[in-house]
Every structure is written in C-alpha cells, then in structure tokens.
Structure 1
Amino acid sequence: MFLKDIAQKIVNLMMEVIDYRNINIMDCDGFIIASGEPNRISTYHKGADDVIKSGKGIEIYPQNVNNFPGSKQGVNLPINIEGKVIGVVGIYGHPDEVRMVARLVKNSVELALEQYLISEQVNLVKDLSNQMIRKLLFNSVSETEEEILCLSKVARINLELKRCAVVIKLDNYDDDGIYESVNAMGEIEKLLSTNNFITNKDFFGIINHYFIIFKSIADDKRCEYMNNILFTLEDNRPYKIKIGLGSSYNDIYGYKKSFNEAVDIISISKGKPLDINNFDTQAKYLLQKIQPDASEPFIKKLYISILNENGKVPEWFYKTLDALFENNLRLNETAIALFVHKNTLVYRLKKIEQLTGLNINNFYHATLLYCLYTYINNIESDI
C-alpha cells in the first residue's frame, strides 16, 4: 500500500510546520501506520475506523474519548485520493482549537500523496518504456511482438505512430565512468523535458551511454530540432555529445532500423549532428556499410603504401583527407580549413596521387580514398 510507504515522512514534515502537535495517519482498517508517538504505531484507532466506514470526519472531544478506544481528543478526517478514501489523518488537540489546522493538514497530505502517485506513475512509465525499448532494439521483434504490444498498452504508447530514433551519445564517458554517465544522463533528461524536446507523443530510454528518443517529427523540422538540442545541452553544460537521427518508420519493426542508422552515423560524426535524411550523410552511411572482408584486401594495400618510415600515417596525409571530405572536395574551402595556400593543397594532392595512384578528381578514385580515410579512422583513432 503506497500510503504506508511515505506516511511517516509526511507526519515528520507536517509536525514541524504545526509546532510538533501530534499527527496520526491511519489505514483503511483503522490502524495507525504513522505517528509522532511511535509507541502508538500498529495500534487500533476507533475514531479512524468510524471515519473509514462513514467517509466523514469525526471530532473527538475530551468528554467523549472513552467512546473511541485507542483514540485521543482531536479531529480525524478522511484522506481522499481519486474519489476514494484511502486512510485517515488525525490531529491531536481540542477540536475547537485544531479544526482549521486539521483541514490544512488533510489538504497537504492529499496533495503530497497525489504528487507521490504522479511520480510513481512517471517512474513506472519510464521503466516500461526502457523495457520496451530493449525488446524493440535487442530482441527478435517477431518473437516478442505480443510482449512489446502489451508493454506499450500499459505505458499508453502508440507504436504505430510514425517516429524516428534520436540518439544522443555521451562521448566523454567510458565504462569506468558509469556513475558519472548516469548522473549526466539524468541532467540531460531534465534539460530535454524542461525545454519541450520530449512531448507526450514521444517515448525515451537510457541504454548505456545512449539517450534514445523515439520522436514524431516532421521532415522539415529535423535539422532545427537536432541543432536546438545541441545548443541547449552545450549551453547549460559542456557535454561532449554526438547526435544522430535515423529514418522515420510507422511500424513496430522500424524502431530497430532507425536506431541502428542513428548509431552508425554517430560513429562517423565529427561532433556535428547528423541526419540520415541528408544526402551527404546517406552516402557516408552507405560507404560505411561496405563489409571489411570485401574491402580490406584493396584498402590495406593502399594503407601500407602511405605509411612513413615509422610505420605511421603521415599527419599531413590524414588531415588533408579529413578536410577534403568535410568540405565536399572543394579546394578553396579545404585550403582555408587547413590554413594553407591553395597551391600547397594542390601539391599535397599530387603527393597523395604519387603514394596511392588515386586522383581525387576521379569519382571512383575519390570513393576509394574515402574508404581509406575511414580505414585509417578505425585503426588509428589516436591520430
């Protein structure tokens, strides 16, 4: 019974407010479950029992105390939650003196219990959402579909609504910083909820270092939404995060697809939010999907050809490719990003062609250079 869980906390807090005049809270059987007089807990209170049965408050005057075993003088009022009497609150003292105080305490107790119920319901929905997300993402949906649909009904989530996965990855925490990561995720949840980035049409969960929102959003609002999240989180605290948006789907099998897309594009992010609906992102995503066992025989040869005498990729080589692909092979923008003269960049491109045999002006050669670039990223992430 939830009343028993917090009754003593309420008594302790309320007694401080009313100058430590004793308060009792009784259950539906008329037994005291919380009191400023601990020796009375678990004892029968006739006045409370009568309140439960009648649904009305009872005032016990000094001359009538003997008619109410286990009771003392005071005012006893029903605790009403959602139209039901779930218990009784009693205030010690002459009824003429404590009548108004008793009403204030009753209202305060009911408000506290309502807030507690809301909090518990929110926590329940969060737990159900987390369970459902895990089953959607990490189980065979065809095998657990009935269970997923059951969870969605209890949590009041319509899984047929068109949604995409918004994945926020904390990038500055590893497995050793799990507690700091959990705290940061809690702060991120508050910021996103407070700033209305999560609505009642969405549901979310926290899995490892990923904060996942399954969101219903119009295509033309996706970019603005991502950038606003990034601005809000970095403005409140310098989180090192990456954000990815997967495609929107409107069936139970689409959630896993959208999540996997978002996670994959996060892995190629340079810190800027990426949207799978963007053509550049789609191209990078598809190139990333090339199976290593198919590409490695070719790309590894290229990789070996560029290593210097120390067996390392020259820094200028990696930074040149990085700037080229970040600026869509536009030479002027690339030179500016590298802080070099355009002629210096042209010289570097000729050097790259000498080392690899690949000309950046040839579409297919540029594709192979991008594969080489991602290969370097994967095996030499400390560059």
Structure 2
Amino acid sequence: MLTFESIAQDLVDATSSLLCGRTVNIMNQEGIIVASSDKKRIGDFHQGAADVIAKGKTVRIYKEELKDYPGSKEGINMPMTDNEKIIGVVGVYGNPDEVEDTANLLRVYVELYFKQIAHTVKQEVEEEIRGDILKLLLSGEKIELSSVSKLSSVIMLDSNLPLTCIIIKPCNKKDKVARALSFKELQSCLVSSELMLSSKDVYGVLNESFVILKTFDENEEVESWLKQTLYFIESIFDKKYSVVLSGNCDSYAKLASSYNGALEINKNNVSGVYYLNSYEGMIRYFTQSYISKESLGEDFIQNIYNVLEKELGNKAFKEALRTLEVYYKNDRSVSKSADQLFIHKNTLLYRINKVYSVLGLESENDFIREYFLRLLLAYNDKIYNMNTKG
C-alpha cells in the first residue's frame, strides 16, 4: 500500500543524485524526517520543518543559527501544499542563498508528484466502489438499496431506474492481463468521449466482460448511442466486439435477470449486436441456458402474450389463439385448418398475419415465428390450467 513515507523516500532516492549529492529531506506534518538521502536521519525531529508548518512559510537556516534549530542542519526548508493545506516540508542542505532555486524546483516537483499519486489513488478507489455497486445490483439476491445508496453518495453517482444492461466483449481471445488492459482503455475512452457518464452510469469489468448499466434520457435514442459507440471503439481499437443489450429494466430484479440472460448470449463470442428482448436474442438465450433456473424466458413470452391480447381485444385474441393451435396441429396446412375451424382460408390467413403484424414477426423466418407462437400457446395453456385449478 502506498504511504506518504514510502512515496517520499522514492522521491528522495530519485532526485538526490540530481542535486550534486546534497542531502535532501522530506518531513511530515509533525516535523519528523520521514525520508532522507541520509538514512540515519529518518525518524529525527527537525525544528526547521516544525517552524515551516507553524508559520506556513519558508525557513532558511544559516550556519550561525543552527543553535536555534535542534536536529537541523544548514539549508532551506519549504512547505509542500495541496489545495493551500501544508502536507509536509521539503528541505535541501547547503547555504540557503545558494540552494534556494534548486529547492524551489524540487518542492514544485514533489508537490506535483504527490498530487498525481493522490489523483490516481482517488480514481482507483472510485473504480473499486463503482465495481462494488455493479456487483450488488447484478447479484440476483435481495439488493440492499441502502448499501447501494451509501456507496453511490461517496462517488457522487446518481443512477436511476430504468436501466439498460449492456455487455461488451472483444471477440478475439486474449490472456486475462491483456484483456484487463483493453477494458481499462475502453472505459477511459467511453468516459472521455461522454458516451458513458461517470455521474449517471454504473460500469466495470465482471465475468471477463465490460458491463454498463446505462440510463438513457427520454430524448436519447439507444440505436443512435449504440451506432456511435460501436463505430468509436472499433475504429480506435481496430477489433471486432460482441455487444448484447437488454431492454429497459424498471426494477432491480429484472436488471439482474436481464444481465444473466445477456451474459448467456455473450458467451457465443461472435461479433455483432444482439438485443436480448428480441426474437433472435431470445432464441440464442433459450438454446444456451437452462430456462428452468430463470424467469427471463417466461417474462418475454408473458409480455408478447399481453401485447397481443391488448391489441386484438378479448374475442379476436381467443380466435387468434384457437386458429394458431389448429394451424400448427395440422402442420401449417391452410386448407385443413380452415375446414376444421369452419372459416374461409382468407380469414385464417388474415388472423395469422394479424398476429405476425402485432408481434413484429413479419420479417422473421418461419422457424422463429413457429417457435415463439408455440411458446405463446403453451403459456396460454398454463394460464388456463392455473385458472381452472383456482
């Protein structure tokens, strides 16, 4: 772990050789020498440094004044500050008039170094907290919202539902170290380009993928954001990515479920964009995961079931389901199905095409259409059985 003392000694070791062998000391806020090119002095009290801290200004010690400064030698001692607060003292041995310029340059260098270290540490802490928030929200367990709220307040994060879960992963396989570096660069680029907002979005590396829980504004198009983001990262990193998006999740329970579903799809490691809440996305999910352990598949079917019922109305909805049931039992024979239902073939085709239209299945192939409509019929049977037993 980095400490003031260890950083100070590294600085002394790096700079003393540049000062013609002059002794360089760094003192803490109590006036104790914590780093020195003269190792024997580490731990000694330095009266000159104590005066610098007390007075808030440079103290010059000439040979004839040494008796007034116990534990000190001839030289100049300058305050190191951060936001106008003294964090320590840097001292250089020699005639104060001769070494003042050198000491001042050293002071500026040391201050900048400490500030850079502090900034780096702050970033690392923020990333760790953001990662903890991400894990909490996607744990799938009962989420302690008070813990999420407390952690969010530390890094001034204002993330609100609904959230979209986005999983990004480079398609080429790399070792874990190289992939971690790639994700770090990806995060930096997305934040600096404001495609990802540190004040609103939760992000981090989880299960060897880069995960974003993003809040989209009402006037912000997901498609537009995705197009910009993909173009940006693929042009910068010159590689293909697999990207999976969930729909908007209005609860944390749905968020965790959507993440697990997106994670399953992301395992295929094939470049492209996949929408979890789409027919293609759900086909991939159904064929790559154990549905019995997840409610996500049933949620999707329930949603299209509700959409169809709302759009058609109760009577037309029941007619459509009955038509589909007979149609598939007759191996999609229009003539046989129409005869069995005592309707004209055109009426049967109209009902089926109306279902395709309402559910956005017109452009899908026959396999996807039948796959989901059979699931829809199975869900209807489940509802019927539940109501009958009730």
Which TM-score band applies after superposition, normalised by the shorter structure? 0.5 to 0.7
Distance 1:187 1:294 in 2: 35
Distance 1:50 1:259 in 2: 59
What residue is the counterpart of 1:137 in the other structure? 138
Deviation at 1:15, TM superposition (A): 3.2
What residue is the counterpart of 1:154 in the other structure? 154
Deviation at 1:18, TM superposition (A): 4.1
Deviation at 1:222, TM superposition (A): 2.3
% of aligned pairs identical? Answer: 25
Distance 2:253 2:23 in 1: 58
Deviation at 1:87, TM superposition (A): 1.3
Q: What amino acid is the match of 1:116?
A: I
What pairs with 1:1-383 in structure 2 (closer than 5 Å)?
2-142=3-143, 144-160=144-160, 162-173=162-173, 177-201=175-199, 202-218=201-217, 220-249=220-249, 252-253=252-253, 255-260=255-260, 262-266=262-266, 270-275=270-275, 282-288=278-284, 366-367=366-367
Classify the secondary structure of the residue corresponding to 1:24: strand
Q: What amino acid is the match of 2:122?
A: Q
User: Is contact 1:159-1:250 (8 Å) kept?
Assistant: no
User: Is contact 2:140-2:256 (8 Å) kept?
Assistant: no
The Cα offsets for residues 299-318 of structure 1, whole Å up to 9 and x where unpaired, read as: xxxxxxxxxxxxxxxxxxxx
Deviation at 1:154, TM superposition (A): 1.7
What residue is the counterpart of 1:344 in the other structure? none
Instruction: Give the 3 Å change call, closer, same or farther, for CA 270–3 of structure 1 in structure 2.
Output: closer
Greater shift in the superposed pair: 162-171 or 216-225: 216-225
Structure showing greater Rg: 2
**TM-score scaled by structure 2?**
0.66
Let me know the Cα RMSD of the aligned residues: 3.4
Deviation at 1:60, TM superposition (A): 0.4
Distance 1:184 1:31 in 2: 43
Deviation at 1:73, TM superposition (A): 1.1
User: Is contact 2:265-2:285 (8 Å) kept?
Assistant: no
The Cα offsets for residues 5-60 of structure 1, whole Å up to 9 and x where unpaired, read as: 31112223333554443321101221111112222212221111222223222110
- What runs of 5+ residues in structure 2 fail to find an aligned partner? 293-330, 334-348, 373-390
Deviation at 1:206, TM superposition (A): 0.6
What residue is the counterpart of 1:314 in the other structure? none
Distance 2:182 2:18 in 1: 35
Greater shift in the superposed pair: 95-104 or 236-245: 236-245
User: Is contact 2:27-2:88 (8 Å) kept?
Assistant: yes
Instruction: Give the 3 Å change call, closer, same or farther, for CA 283–88 of structure 1 in structure 2.
Output: same
- What runs of 5+ residues in structure 1 fail to find an aligned partner? 296-356, 373-383
Distance 2:67 2:188 in 1: 54
**TM-score scaled by structure 1?**
0.68
Greater shift in the superposed pair: 196-205 or 362-371: 362-371
